[in-house]
Amino acid sequence: MNINPLGDLVATIPVTVTNYDYFERFPIVNASISNGGAFHFDFQIPAGGPTIKEITKVTTTAVAAGSSLTQLNNITMSGAGAAFAYNATGTGANRVVTPIAGNNTNTITFSSTLAQYLAFRQANGASAGPATTTTTPVSLPAPTTTASQTPTEIQFYFLMTLSDGTTIIPQPARVRVQP
């Protein structure tokens, strides 16, 4: 593949987040602390080709962290290498990644809550998620209005597997934490 430095690089199979509230380089959905903190991403690929088999791996880390894709690629499906998999259960050598099954269509939904996110951060030594979150036990900073309004955001990375075995890493998606 030749990449033209003046052209756009378009994914062979583009992945769209269809329920975004904002699009600021990345799709962003809201999660309200006062409403229980639930959030979800609705993913879609073009119809007529392979379907989405599963979301195989999910990870999250600080919005500015450059290691997130490396972290996603280094996740193993079991054992200590699954430590940074958001969709894993167990601890240490008994940790196992559980793919999120699709329904063999061109859409799939990833759902979670801020409470699940905080539990993940706590289990991983608070090394994943917004850099401003440093308390123990971990808690999300409450969004406030300031002159330099900086929202509290959580960035997620996904690896999806299609029905034909193709794997796709879509662009990161973010959750904006609201009061």
pLDDT digit string, tens, across residues 80-112:
777 788 888 877 778 888 999 999 999 999 999
* Residue-level pLDDT at 106: 97
User: What contacts 31, CB < 8 A, 6 or more positions away?
Assistant: 37, 38, 39, 113, 114, 175, 176, 177, 178
Is 123 in a helix, a strand, or coil?
helix
Cβ distance 68 to 155 under 8 Å?
A: yes
**In the chain, what percentage of residues exceed pLDDT 70?**
73
- Is 88 in contact with 55 (CB distance < 8 Å)? no
Neighbours of 23 (CB within 10 A): 9
Tell me what pLDDT residue 150 has. Answer: 61
Q: Is the per-residue pLDDT at 160 higher than 50?
A: yes
Distance of CA 63 to the CA centre of its chain: 11
Q: Are strands 27-32 and 173-178 parallel, antiparallel or unpaired?
A: parallel
Q: Are 176 and 156 in contact (CB under 8 A)?
A: no
Q: Which of residues 105 and 25 earns the better pLDDT score?
A: 105
Domain ranges for the chain:
57-171
Pairing status of strand 88-89 against strand 22-23: unpaired
Q: Rounded mean pLDDT of the chain?
A: 81
Sign of CA dihedral 119, 173, 85, 43: positive
Mean pLDDT score, 151-176: 91
Residue 39 confidence class, pLDDT cut points 50, 70, 90:
very high
For 41-63, what is each residue's pLDDT tens digit?
A: 999 999 999 999 999 999 886 54
Overall average pLDDT of the 140-154 stretch: 62
